[in-house]
Structure 1
Amino acid sequence: MRSPLAFFWKHCLLALGFCASGTVWAAHAYAQFGDIRYPSGFSHFAYVNPEAPKGGEVVLVPPTRQSNFDKYNPFTLKGSAPPSMLGMMFDTLLVGNMDEPTTSYGLLASDVSVASDRLSVTFQIHPQARFHNGDPVLATDVRHSFERLTSKQAAPQYRTYFGEVKKATVLSERSIRFDFVRPNSELPLIVGSLPVFSHKWGLEGGVLKPLDQMVMDIPIASGPYRIGRVQFGKDISYERDPAYWARDLNVRKGQFNFDRITYKIYKDSTAQLEAFKAGEFDYMQSFIAREWARAFTGRAFDRGDLIKAELAHGNAGDFQGFLFNTRRDKFQDVRVRQAIALAMDFEWLNRQLFYNAYSRVRGFFVASDFEAKGRPGPDELALLMPLRSVLPAAVFDQDVPQPPQTALDPASGQTLRDHLRQARDLLKDAGWTYRDGALRNAKGQAFKIEFLDSSGSMGRVVTPFAKNLEKLGIQVQYKVIDFALLQKRMDVFDFDIISNRTVGSEAPGTELLERYGSRSADVEGSGNVIGLKDQAVDALLDKAVSATSRPELVTSLRALDRVLRHGHYVVPHWYGGVHRVSWRSKAFARPAELPRFYQPEKLVTTVWWSPNAKAMSSTVPTAPAAKVSNKAP
């Protein structure tokens, strides 16, 4: 086997620090910070069972709040695609793994080469790569996919995500180069994650449809599954492709083991849980502490037919909170946003509603190295000082803001009443005073807030929050709407406050441009839900995405977290340290070891297998559940 280091030393001049050929990196994998675990020719990832049998069927529900689907195209803004379609059907040039957050290995690409100036990356396409229609995957298909996804016909987040990629150039039948706007060590990973599809997808009568008009056209992709049985808008099955071109490739060995994976969609969360207990599907994840403690119980759990487990993981914590739409005039003053946040009593919620199962979200990079603490140190100050003219003085001379805390004993800390007094004073300073039965501005307009929710689960949180806000004179409306309507209103920024969750990342980077960057603030459908436009934030985002080492990334993100927290753009929620999952015991077998970084639904669909599969060729035992318990957390 040839290791990437051996390859590098053979072809590079150590004293100059770059390759004589002009290539600084050429190997089977790429790591943002140079740390590759698996050498060239490795057999399989450590957390899989390479002998896992193929066969069986598993029935799941979407991990999101999806209530329907109305198209087969996952790349456009309008409408909803079937759940998990991207991961099931579309291969990418590179693929990551669940143990290394900033490293990816060749999938469609058999080799990746980064130029010595870091302004381009070249991929060699695997000669065996095939689409579902039997056509070879060629460099022209890769360029076609890139150009379609960065066009105005695609959802806008793709243009932001690939925004620093200048162009794609076909060098030969199976060789393609991507040129970058500037050096950025993350860009090879970004380009490597490009979903690739055939240039024939959407071709009708020799004419290619615009991407946003491809609604019912079945994608021509190259992934491990194809679309199977469909009850349109409700249920969809993905059928494993027995001729999948990468089935024996090391980055796919022991993965995608079920012959059929079906997703059933329920519009009501209560109906979904009861259906799980009745045996209509095989696995679900719980995000609600009360539900986990009180509803995941019964004879099926007592008999062991249903397993209830809290799976440990090493993930960064998920960010969750109520997000202000700062495009609305009433939320543009930071004092108003801070005052509203003071009215939420997390400690009461955790005691009374959450069974003390959660910790408070404090920053934008939860439970990670990137979370700001105290006052800025010398490394952060080096980034912040050039921005001093556009930052509040508090960024430099005060500790990073913390969510308000209430104490049971008034003598040991502040109470909710103390926080409401602070909120009243902040609102008054911002021009809002209580008169004529409501909190009003100088024009006499009453302060009204609408909370939108698609599941109804936030009602028990909003209700006590609203009562506290009403003590300040703020009128609150809590409105439950269908998820598709909520998504549409979010896409056009027609909301006051919404609850939002972002999965934590061990190496945040380019995706932050779309989430917090000024360029995406007015782009419909973008991830910049807050509507954030801030010169200092943009400058720190620029530092983060151009980091060339882990310490540089940590420093830039801590500075970013600090600036965002001083902006009080959210009312922070809470997070848990485990994945709460439940599954039908006879439906799954799984490796004994869990990977370090994972989302449980992806673990189920890629790594687990059916214990009833006929082609059983391994004696790897089913692992015992981690922290299995039917008691409240």
Structure 2
Amino acid sequence: MTTWMLMMGALLGMASSMAAEPRHALALHGEPKYGPAFEHLDYVSPEAPSGGTLKLANVSASTFDSLHPFILRGTAAEGIGRIYDTLTVRTLDEAFTEYGLIAESIEVADDNSHVRFNLREAARFHDGEPITAKDVAWTFRRLREDGHPRYRAYYSDVDRAEVIDRHSVVFHFADTSNAELPLILGQLPVLPAHYWADRDFSATTLTPPLGSGPYRVAEVEQGRRVVYERVDDYWAADLPINRGRYNIDRISYDYYRDGTVALQALKAGEYHLRRENVARNWATAYDTPAVESGLLKRVEIPHEQPAGMQGFFFNTRRDLFADPKVREALSYAFDFEWTNDNLFYGAYKRTRSYFQNSELAATGLPSDQELERLEPYRDELPERVFTEAYQPPDTRDRPLRRNLRQALSLLREAGWRVEDGTLTHTESGQRMAFEILLVSPSFERVVLPFRRNLERLGAEVSVRTVDPTQYQNRLETFDFDMTVHVAPQSLSPGNEQRDFWSCEAAGINGSRNIAGVCDPVIDALVEQVIDAPDRDALVTRTRALDRVLQWQFYAIPNWYIDRFRIAYWDRFGRPADNPPYGLALDTWWVDPERAARVDNR
């Protein structure tokens, strides 16, 4: 075969791999719910009026010192994402489908070797400059090189970004098996290269940055308050994906260090809406005339969002928690049933899965399909992965003391004995002494009974509540023994699982692998989740991963709730139906008559 023929064959092969049909949306599995000619999302009111103000509160005791959310340094202001547009945008009534926003169309190669985004010519930054393919490629490189460390892991399967012309950019993939990559890249926020040309991308800033989204920063009081105002000439306001959204003119966040003070501020009308995360408050703290008269509403909105795992997470980088048997033993000291009945008014359900409240959660015994995924690792996994359904210890049908006896039995098997009232390792002489790190004083009422139970086992446990900045720094550098943490999940797990569970992420400061998980089997199962070819395979592979995580006891599961608890002043209108996979607050609007009635109360 001649050189010319070889070259032609190669070019034809490239052309074949380049073949792709421009699409208005991408669904990870199946087809998008909304066709190319859709007019608006089903869960909006397309004729909703605009105007008014929404006052919110940050009640997590956090403060902020930056308006730059893309780097490790600093704590970014809440809501800052509102000022940025992305290539595509996700809907809340589909498992994982993204529709073009900055991108007018998307082309995915038949062999999944690349994705091409064709940008809308009308797309603009707030200063009127057009959004171009160069901005997209620049953003990708900057996030991966100078952004938060998690971006490097998140985009690790992407080889490079190539600018084709002013409005077209192609991302080439190093791994063609990851069907999620085109959607992951669609989530890319596009930053203005011209704005950052003479600014230090790695530095925190309180200067309002240039964006392209529906809102811009209007006012900033460091650590106390941030206000966003709706952009009057927002370039994407009339796109079908945005119709009926972003109706409120001004959205502000006031920061409160104390949850009790924040709750009283809501009842005094200092802000308008609160997601209530404290069961005791929901049960007892809203007995006020405003609630009785209907001016202050309390609603529970059901949802189907995965709850992920909230729990007491062990830092397995510590020798003390390196043994799964020790971690399992300590899990018997948490009495969820007592906690739920006595502290939470029975409001919660027990978490048992890392993908709780979704079809992805592993339940019962493994299916034949799951066993196919797990069988190659049988020699490296606990036998219970194959023969038992995981269930956290409980006290529904047995007293706590029986659980504590079971804990001591496991600890003895792991080489621990009680000497002079203290758990001590028989070989090393190490004492069972550790700290539980907290950021919120409100959680102390949960942790202190847990500590008492641990002390009954002979453990020496201290509880330390620190300020948000110190807490964030200690988590990012993994400077803790045990902490309360939430590992959130979506309906379509993928690349982010590396950041949660991989050996690589365990050694990267700022990663979300809080527990320090480093297991070759888990690494392999994570890659299988990422490479799942269809929805059925994704569910099976995620359940297999979930089983292994459950039986390695990286966390002592806490609880979850399958509805949003919202308290708000009756000044808003909202669509009749909330979507199943999120609280669509951006579809609400201010009703002038209702607002006047509340303001004149």
Is the contact between residue 17 and residue 113 of structure 2 (CA under 8 Å) also seen in structure 1?
Answer: no
Which residue, out of 543, 552, 556, partners 2:528? 543
Q: Deviations over 1:234-286 (max 9, x none)?
A: 10100111011001111111111111100111011111101111110000011
Distance 1:123 1:139, change over 3 A: same
Shift in Å, 1:437: 2.7
Corresponding residue for residue 400 of structure 1: 389
Residue 66 of structure 1 and its aligned partner are, at CA, apart by 5.1
1:515 equivalent in structure 2: 500
RMSD across aligned C-alpha pairs, in angstroms? 1.7
Q: Residue type of the partner of 2:535?
A: R
Pair 1:517–1:25, CA change in 2 (3 A): farther
Q: Is the 8 A contact 1:165 1:180 kept in 2?
A: yes
Instruction: Tell me the amino acid that sits aligned with residue 470 of structure 1.
Output: E
Residue 440 of structure 2, aligned match among 455, 458, 462: 455
The one-letter code sitting in structure 2 at the alignment partner of 1:212 is S
Counterpart for residue 196 of structure 1 = 190
Aligned residues: 579
Structure-1 residue corresponding to 2:579 = 595
Matches within 5 A, 1:178-257: 178-183=171-176, 184-204=178-198, 208-209=199-200, 211-257=201-247
Could you tell me how far apart the structure 1 residues matched to 2:219 and 2:338 are?
Answer: 47
Pick from 427, 434, 440 the counterpart of residue 411 of structure 2. Answer: 427
- Residue 71 of structure 2 corresponds to residue 76 of structure 1: yes
Q: Distance in 2 between matches of 1:20 and 1:167?
A: 20
For residue 287 of structure 1, what is the aligned residue in structure 2? 277
**Aligned-pair identity (%):** 40
* 8 A contact 2:487–2:500 mirrored in 1: no
Counterpart-to-counterpart distance in 2, 1:318 and 1:437: 37
Instruction: Describe how 1:25-174 pairs up with structure 2 within 5 A.
Output: 25-62=21-58, 65=60, 67-86=62-81, 88-151=82-145, 153-174=146-167
- For residue 190 of structure 1, what is the amino acid of its counterpart? I
Tell me whether 432-441 or 568-577 shows the greater mean CA deviation: 432-441
Which TM-score applies when normalising by structure 2?
Answer: 0.94
Matches for 1:498-577 after TM superposition, within 5 Å: 498-577=483-562
Work out whether residues 55 and 613 of structure 1, in 8 Å CA contact, stay in contact via their aligned partners in 2.
no
Query: Aligned partners of 1:301 and 1:593: how far apart in 2?
Result: 23
> Partner residue of 1:375?
365
* Cα drift, residue 25 of structure 1: 4.4
Q: Is the 8 A contact 1:197 1:219 kept in 2?
A: no
Matching residue's letter, 1:167: R
Q: Counterpart of 2:587?
A: 607
Distance 2:361 2:232 in 1: 45
Helix, strand or coil at the partner of 1:27: coil
- What letter corresponds to residue 221 of structure 1 in structure 2? G
Q: Provide the rounded CA distance (Å) in 1 between the counterparts of 2:308 and 2:355.
A: 8
2:257 corresponds, among 239, 247, 267, to 267
Pairwise CA distance, 1:164: 1.2
Change (3 A) 1:21 1:474: closer
CA 1:19–1:248: 2 relative to 1, 3 Å: farther
- Residues in 1 aligned to 2:289 and 2:67: alpha-carbon distance in whole angstroms: 39
Q: Distance in 2 between matches of 1:178 and 1:235?
A: 38
| Counterpart secondary structure, 1:150 | helix
Structure 1 residue 217: Cα displacement: 4.2
1:215 CA drift (Å): 2.3
User: Once the 2 structures are TM-superposed, how far is the Cα of residue 219 of structure 1 from its aligned partner?
Assistant: 1.9
Instruction: Report which of the two has the higher share of helix.
Output: 2
Match in the other structure for 1:625: none
What is the aligned partner in structure 1 of residue 299 from structure 2?
309
Q: Deviations over 1:272-315 (max 9, x none)?
A: 10111111000001111111101122112112111011111222
Q: Of 381, 388, 399, which aligns to 1:391? A: 381
Residues in 2 aligned to 1:420 and 1:596: alpha-carbon distance in whole angstroms = 40
Residue of structure 1 in register with 2:318 after alignment: 328
For structure 1, the residue ranges without an aligned partner over 5 or more in a row are 1-17, 408-412, 615-633
Change (3 A) 1:214 1:481: closer
**In 1, Cα distance between equivalents of 2:561 and 2:580:** 16
C-alpha separation in 1, matches of 2:364 and 2:342: 30
Aligned to 2:267: 277
